[in-house]
Amino acid sequence: MNIKTTEIARYLGETVTLHGWLHHVRRLGGVNFVIVRDGYGLAQAVASETDLAPLAELTDGTVLTVTGKVVAARSAPNGAELHAPHISIITPIREAPPLTLHQRTINATLPTLLDHAVVANRHPERQAILRIVAGAMTGFRQTLQAQGFTEIQTPKLVASATEGGANVFRLGYYDSEAFLAQSPQFYKQMMVGVFERVFEVGPVFRAEPHNTTRHLSEYVSMDVEFGFIENHFDVMVVVEQVIRGILTAISHSQSSELAMLRAEMPQMAETFPNIHFRDAQQLIYELHGEDVRGEPDLSPQDERWLGAWAQAEYGSDFLFVTGYPMVKRPFYTHPDPANPEFSNSFDLLFRGTELITGGQRLHQYADYLAALDAAGLPHTPFASYLEAFRYGMPPHGGFAIGLERLVMQLLGLPNVRLAALFPRDMGRLLP
Amino acid sequence: MNIKTTEIARYLGETVTLHGWLHHVRRLGGVNFVIVRDGYGLAQAVASETDLAPLAELTDGTVLTVTGKVVAARSAPNGAELHAPHISIITPIREAPPLTLHQRTINATLPTLLDHAVVANRHPERQAILRIVAGAMTGFRQTLQAQGFTEIQTPKLVASATEGGANVFRLGYYDSEAFLAQSPQFYKQMMVGVFERVFEVGPVFRAEPHNTTRHLSEYVSMDVEFGFIENHFDVMVVVEQVIRGILTAISHSQSSELAMLRAEMPQMAETFPNIHFRDAQQLIYELHGEDVRGEPDLSPQDERWLGAWAQAEYGSDFLFVTGYPMVKRPFYTHPDPANPEFSNSFDLLFRGTELITGGQRLHQYADYLAALDAAGLPHTPFASYLEAFRYGMPPHGGFAIGLERLVMQLLGLPNVRLAALFPRDMGRLLP
């Protein structure tokens, strides 16, 4: 019977076949372990020198099958191992890989690791990270589908660099030009007019002019938008459900990956605490003596202080900061009706770093015309977008989660590139 | 209580609130029906002239709530209607929409419909089509996840126009240039080296130089690739499971949409029949007297004939044609070991039109080097891709389904643009 490495302990006493890659042959004082890596994990076979004969002159990465009898073994991966294995070669490999994959961590610089991501992603730790990336997408979708959200896929080729115009990739499009979408913002709003509640998981493109540890030129954005809200607090309720849904899904489906990576799952209060932007600045002044009151945004240091405060005060790794000043938010942001210099928007801080931005959007056609005028933007490039409001839109809002950044922060990775399969930045288009 | 239109019949005798858009007010011989459209469907309220007062001077598209008592009504949408409604306006609309949405079908030319897709997508038939698009993605993922496939999101910005070079979009990328991925082919193969079994749902980009009813410049590709196969017949098994999984998911979750669109669900034999390319040509010769034997590909007429034959012979709307000549397949295609001028590849015909292409790929490093040489392609742009094979790959294969084309063929739409939210073609980047 063909089984996965992770299933081995279910077949004690039976003869099974593993297929996969030769992870390594370990020779320990006369005992040989053939370690097999498949797409799910590792398993080992205890092999005599004779059993090893088919591997003569072959090296790690060789594709093979190993058939043997399953015996419980506490120290083996997944709690069991094969005895008296028969090894059969599928694809012989004689050249050592450019990175050693059989040690606990990859012993290579980040550029080398990324240059050889095709091979490096086969390392068990890399597999585990990328499987958590997949699990996060699944948790995101499951949570939203259970609440009547409809999945959309919106165009990535767009006619104008509508959201700002900086950091946008431009390309020739037949006889004219096009841009790569920096976010599905406008399209997800339009689709609220169709389905009320929508989400999208897809690539977005940012021509980031700097190399930082937190930015990619292409990343996966998990977007949500929905209608018939009261204000941004209704959006925050869904943010919290989505975060809990993702964490639950990962805890359930990727528990061994989380254990391998020694991930600290977030501490969560009964409900995520929130604080108004203005109160947050006042708090920083009182706690740390630094007077940031009146600043239009929070600095990274401010965010760290607030994160520490939420942890101390509420035992929560998450903190919503609400009501950011309008001046720092995009033109479609809904102002706070009671205090229009502040907005009905929020950031979610996770362990003292911004993870999610969201809020309520304008929904009245006249408000859009006024907001574009106030921002000095022409109406024409927005004509299609404006049709949504011209012909009826409910109060609505939404948010976006950067998939790689979520996983970076969750796992404490030092660089967002490590949460991408094949990252893209100023200097990297390959592999 | 706030409910969806589609839930109305569950609340007989209760007072509920619907929110949504004013679809239309129908006046039928002294009885007025206020038809409300939400993100899920339609519901109606029976209204007196007094009840209608809040709608004075307002038109279709007005966003509102309607509260009333639920009464069974066989002719009402979803089998019940509201009586003694109280109407409350959320967003008043005074300007008639550019397309009439309250008739059974949209009475507009295709260009007008597409120009105003933001509004047109609110039409119940458009909603239904686009909800089936979403359902197809869900069915695709569910089928594969249940079989141990891992979801991936691969880069859309790539360094070279590797697969052919025609029909590729090119853009400036910092100080160099990049291309938009025409398919995730190379990346999904690389990821078979990591996870064995992978799938992706994401945009692909084709600079199609013609306007046809079957081509888009950007579409959603549902890709599958997996390892440890015997040959392409193992891939065809998964194709069949995926198609059945999609159809089951849609039948279950979008049954009312399918009914509204009068969709004819495909006829399926116990198992999808298959025929070898060479035998298909012989069959066409025998049945229709047209000698296409020796041609390197099937014409649309050939495909129609074969589709009719599969229907007559097997009662199947699906037919696999296997073993296409190598000369028409990409360089990574695995030849038929017994007959190397033919390939271990297939097309799936659906009602006489090609729906899916797939097959087994080469997996030996040396075979790739030889195949590139034979195709006159340099090795350098493929260096990363080749790393996958250089350091060990199992026999593997896969396939891709164009999401919009699947839905077009399933629903019998006259144009693939009608299965896209916001289609992109030579002449269209908006909305």
Dist CA B275 CA B323 (whole Å): 9
Dist CA B278 CA B264 (whole Å): 31
Tokens of A82: 């094969």
- Residue A165 pLDDT: 66
In a domain, A326, yes or no: yes
What letters, b where the CB count within 10 A reaches 16 and e where it falls short, cover A323-356? bbbbeebbbbbbbbeeeeebbbbbbbbbbbebbb
Tokens of B333: 């295609």
Domain that residue A369 falls in: 124-419
Question: Mean of the pLDDT values across residues B265-283?
Answer: 96
Are the CB atoms for A385 and A186 separated by under 8 Å? yes
SS3 readout for chain A: CEECHHHHHHHCCCEEEEEEEEEEEEEECCEEEEEEECCCCEEEEEECCCCCHHHCCCCCCCEEEEEEEEEECCCCHHHEEEEEEEEEEEECCCCCCCCCCCCCCCCCCHHHHHHCHHHHCCCHHHHHHHHHHHHHHHHHHHHHHCCCCEECCCCCEECCCCCCCCCCCEEEECCEEEEECCCCHHHHHHHHHHHCEEEEEEEEECCCCCCCCCCCCEEEEEEEEEECCCCHHHHHHHHHHHHHHHHHHHHHHCHHHHHHCCCCCCCCCCCCCEEEHHHHHHHHHHHHCCCCCCCCCCCHHHHHHHHHHHHHHHCCCEEEEECCEHHHCCCCECECCCCCCEECEEEEEECCEEEEEEEEECCCHHHHHHHHHHCCCCCHHHHHHHHHHHCCCCCEEEEEEEHHHHHHHHHCCCCHHHHCCCCCECCECCC
In a domain, A107, yes or no: no
Give B209: exposed, middle or buried? Use CB within 10 Å, 0-12, 13-18, 19+: exposed
Asked if A174 lies within 8 A of B426 by C-beta distance, the reply is yes
Residue B242 shares a structural domain with residue B146: yes
Query: Of A66, A91, A116, at which residue does a domain stop?
Result: A91
Which A residues, 198 through 227, put their C-beta within 8 Å of a C-beta on chain B?
Answer: 201-203, 205, 207, 217-218, 220, 227
Tokens of A34: 């053939």
Question: Mean of the pLDDT values across residues B319-347?
Answer: 97
Are the CB atoms for A250 and A258 separated by under 8 Å? yes
The percent of residues above 70 in pLDDT, for chain A, comes to: 99
Residue A226 shares a structural domain with residue A341: yes
Query: Of B46, B68, B91, at which residue does a domain stop?
Result: B91
Q: How confident is the model at residue B131 (pLDDT cuts 50, 70, 90)?
A: very high
- Residue B263 pLDDT: 96
C-alpha separations of A142 from A150, A292, B141, B142, B220 in Å: 11, 40, 12, 11, 20
pLDDT surpassing 70 at residue A212: yes
Are the CB atoms for B322 and B275 separated by under 8 Å? yes
Sign (positive or negative) of CA dihedral A223, A225, A231, A237: negative
Residue ranges with strand state E in B128-253: 150-151, 157-158, 170-173, 176-180, 197-205, 218-227
Residue B8 shares a structural domain with residue B140: no
Q: How confident is the model at residue B164 (pLDDT cuts 50, 70, 90)?
A: low
Which A residues, 343 through 362, put their C-beta within 8 Å of a C-beta on chain B?
Answer: none
- Residue B162 pLDDT: 66
Give B380: exposed, middle or buried? Use CB within 10 Å, 0-12, 13-18, 19+: exposed
Asked if A121 lies within 8 A of B191 by C-beta distance, the reply is yes
Q: Give B66-94 pLDDT, tens digit per residue.
A: 999 999 999 999 999 999 999 999 999 99
Dist CA A143 CA A147 (whole Å): 7
Strands A2-3 and A15-28: parallel
Tokens of A350: 């996770």
Asked if B178 lies within 8 A of A429 by C-beta distance, the reply is yes
Which B residues, 168 through 197, put their C-beta within 8 Å of a C-beta on chain A?
Answer: 169-174, 176, 178, 180, 187, 190-191, 193-197
Domain of A84, CATH number, reads 2.40.50.140
Q: Give B87-114 pLDDT, tens digit per residue.
A: 999 999 999 999 999 999 999 999 999 9
Backbone phi, psi, residue B157, to 5°: -90, 120
**Any residues with CB less than 8 A from the CB of A93 and at least 6 apart, and which?**
A22, A58, A59, A60, A61, A62, A63, B391, B392
Asked if A91 lies within 8 A of B170 by C-beta distance, the reply is no
Nearest to B422 among A119, A131, A154 (CB): A154
Q: CA A78, A84, A85 angle in degrees (round to 5)?
A: 70
Asked if A118 lies within 8 A of B384 by C-beta distance, the reply is yes
Largest CA distance in chain A: 82
In a domain, B108, yes or no: no
- Residue A88 pLDDT: 98
- Residue B208 pLDDT: 86
Peptide bond into B273 cis (omega under 30): no
Chain A nearest CA to B166, separation (Å): 13
Chain A nearest CA to B171, separation (Å): 4
**Interchain CB contact of B412 with A (< 8 Å):** no
Going by the DSSP 8-state scheme, the letter that residue B412 receives in this structure is T
**Interchain CB contact of A232 with B (< 8 Å):** no
Chain B positions touching A121 (Cβ under 8 A) are 190-191, 193-194
H helices then E strands: how many in chain B? Answer: 11, 17
Residue A78 shares a structural domain with residue A136: no
- Residue A163 pLDDT: 65
Q: Give A121-146 pLDDT, tens digit per residue.
A: 999 999 999 999 999 999 999 999 99
pLDDT surpassing 70 at residue B150: yes
C-alpha separations of A162 from A158, A328, A384 in Å: 9, 17, 12
Q: Give B168-180 pLDDT, tens digit per residue.
A: 999 999 999 999 9
Q: Give A99-122 pLDDT, tens digit per residue.
A: 999 999 999 999 999 999 999 999
Q: How confident is the model at residue B29 (pLDDT cuts 50, 70, 90)?
A: confident
Residue A306 shares a structural domain with residue A205: yes
Residue A180 shares a structural domain with residue A51: no
According to DSSP, the residues that pair with B83 across neighbouring strands are B69
Taken as a whole, chain A contains a residue count of 431
Three-state DSSP class for B85? Answer: strand
Peptide bond into B54 cis (omega under 30): no
Place of tokens 């199947």: B316
Three-state DSSP class for B56? Answer: coil
- Residue B30 pLDDT: 86
Provide the Cα torsion B126, B128, B134, B140; round to 10°.
-130
Q: CA B109, B111, B115 angle in degrees (round to 5)?
A: 120
Domain of A144, CATH number, reads 3.30.930.10
Residue A173 shares a structural domain with residue A247: yes
Residue B81 shares a structural domain with residue B141: no
Tokens of B357: 């292409």
In a domain, A222, yes or no: yes
In a domain, A98, yes or no: no
Chain B positions touching A131 (Cβ under 8 A) are 150, 195
Q: How confident is the model at residue B298 (pLDDT cuts 50, 70, 90)?
A: very high
Residue B56 shares a structural domain with residue B137: no
- Residue B173 pLDDT: 97
Residue B186 shares a structural domain with residue B307: yes
Place of tokens 């549902």: B222
Asked if B203 lies within 8 A of A203 by C-beta distance, the reply is yes
In a domain, A105, yes or no: no
Q: Count the domains in chain B.
A: 2
In a domain, B241, yes or no: yes
Q: Which of B83, B28, B92 is nearest to B56 (CA)?
A: B92
pLDDT surpassing 70 at residue A164: no
In a domain, A69, yes or no: yes
Question: Mean of the pLDDT values across residues B262-274?
Answer: 94
Contacts across the A-B interface (CB distance below 8 Å): 256
Query: Of A91, A116, A146, at which residue does a domain stop?
Result: A91
Query: pLDDT averaged over chain A?
Result: 97
**Interchain CB contact of A315 with B (< 8 Å):** no
Q: Give A343-377 pLDDT, tens digit per residue.
A: 999 999 999 999 999 999 999 999 999 999 999 99
Dist CA B103 CA B124 (whole Å): 9
Q: Provide the phi-psi class of B74: left if phi over 0, else alpha when psi is between -120 and 50, else beta.
A: alpha
**Interchain CB contact of A3 with B (< 8 Å):** no
Residue A294 shares a structural domain with residue A387: yes
Chain A positions touching B398 (Cβ under 8 A) are none
Query: pLDDT averaged over chain B?
Result: 97
Dist CA B236 CA B198 (whole Å): 16
Tokens of A176: 């004219």
Asked if B187 lies within 8 A of A422 by C-beta distance, the reply is yes
Chain A positions touching B95 (Cβ under 8 A) are 390-391
Q: Give B353-368 pLDDT, tens digit per residue.
A: 999 999 999 999 999 9
- Residue A29 pLDDT: 85
Dist CA B123 CA B295 (whole Å): 45
Asked if A228 lies within 8 A of B152 by C-beta distance, the reply is no
Asked if B394 lies within 8 A of A91 by C-beta distance, the reply is yes
* pTM (2 d.p.): 0.97
Q: Give B221-235 pLDDT, tens digit per residue.
A: 999 999 999 999 999
According to DSSP, the residues that pair with A342 across neighbouring strands are A325
User: Which residue, among B391, B407, B425, would best test binding to A if mutated, counting the most A CBs under 10 Å from its CB?
Assistant: B391
Are the CB atoms for B356 and B347 separated by under 8 Å? yes
User: Which residue, among B3, B176, B367, B429, would best test binding to A if mutated, counting the most A CBs under 10 Å from its CB?
Assistant: B429
According to DSSP, the residues that pair with A32 across neighbouring strands are A27, A47
Going by the DSSP 8-state scheme, the letter that residue B54 receives in this structure is G
Dist CA A193 CA A180 (whole Å): 23
Chain A nearest CA to B363, separation (Å): 8
Residue B367 shares a structural domain with residue B218: yes
Q: CA A226, B2, B51 angle in degrees (round to 5)?
A: 110
Chain B nearest CA to A128, separation (Å): 10
- Residue A330 pLDDT: 94
Sign (positive or negative) of CA dihedral B409, B414, B419, B424: positive
User: How many C-beta atoms surround the C-beta of residue B98 within 10 A?
Assistant: 17
**Interchain CB contact of B6 with A (< 8 Å):** no
Place of tokens 């999945």: A151
The percent of residues above 70 in pLDDT, for chain B, comes to: 99
